[in-house]
Amino acid sequence: MLPVLKDHTIITVCCLGCVTFLAVITRSMAVGIFDLHLINNTKSKHTVGQQLCKDLGYDGLAVLSSPEAYRLGLEIRAPVRLSDKSRVSVGLYFKSNSRSLRWADDGMVADDTPWADPSPVVSETKPFGRLKGDGTLLTTGNAFETYSLCGKQYTKEAFGKKLFGKKPDGQTSYISQKKTTSFMRCVGTCSTTSRCRAAEYNLNISTCTIFDTSMFSGFSQNEGTNTFIRDGY
């Protein structure tokens, strides 16, 4: 039997062969979930940095699509944060086929992504994403040379807390909705969906619904529903 969730938990989803299982671990054990590496011995253009990361055995530039990966990215790049204007290349791109910004794994950016002010230019003129010293993200061209943050993801994790007997209120839409067998599996679905900020499990119809921040406005009592709230950016 899976353990009861504490008030603040990390959910890790793993897969061995065709058997999927959930493991609940504490904050202090959250090590090795994301493999990030900072190339800080040389500065390069975004496209060159991408190849340098692959040459080191990484998937490419780091995908910081979830709050958990983003927070780790801030820690890893700390040695080269000389000022709020310093920048590091990450795996964020303008995709011409969808005319949108996407992460390198083709994941959509979340509603609460910490963009720099002004908001990024969604255009082929500035197709590459970089992380600024103040923790915000922006888009640039390829001429600018910076350090590179490489990344590889093995499993997913989610920091957050549970709300028993409550549901997201003011729902306007959702990312996904499917049948599942337990609240824990619903939380697991949230952990593997980078844009997920709330996971609602309806006990009566065994349905899991995943929301981004703009898709609901708060929480209200509902005895037939449990909700997992994921920590945002």
CATH class of 34-153: alpha beta
Q: How many CA atoms lie within 13 A of 168 on its CB side?
A: 24
For 79-104, write each residue's pLDDT tens digit.
888 776 789 999 999 998 889 999 99
Helix (H, G, I), strand (E, B) or coil at 124: coil
- Are 33 and 154 a contacting pair, CB within 8 Å? yes
* pTM across the whole model: 0.69
Query: pLDDT by residue (tens digit) across 188-205?
Result: 899 889 999 999 999 999
- The residue whose two tokens read 């499993």 is 155
- In whole angstroms, what is the distance from residue 36 CA to residue 72 CA? 8
Domain boundaries, the chain: 9-29+157-230, 34-153
3-state SS class at 125: coil
| Topology annotation, domain 9-29+157-230 | Hepatocyte Growth Factor (3.50.4)
The per-residue pLDDT for range 18-57, each reduced to its tens digit, is: 233 333 332 222 333 678 999 999 999 999 999 999 999 9
Please, are residues 123 and 136 in contact by the beta-carbon 8 Å criterion?
no
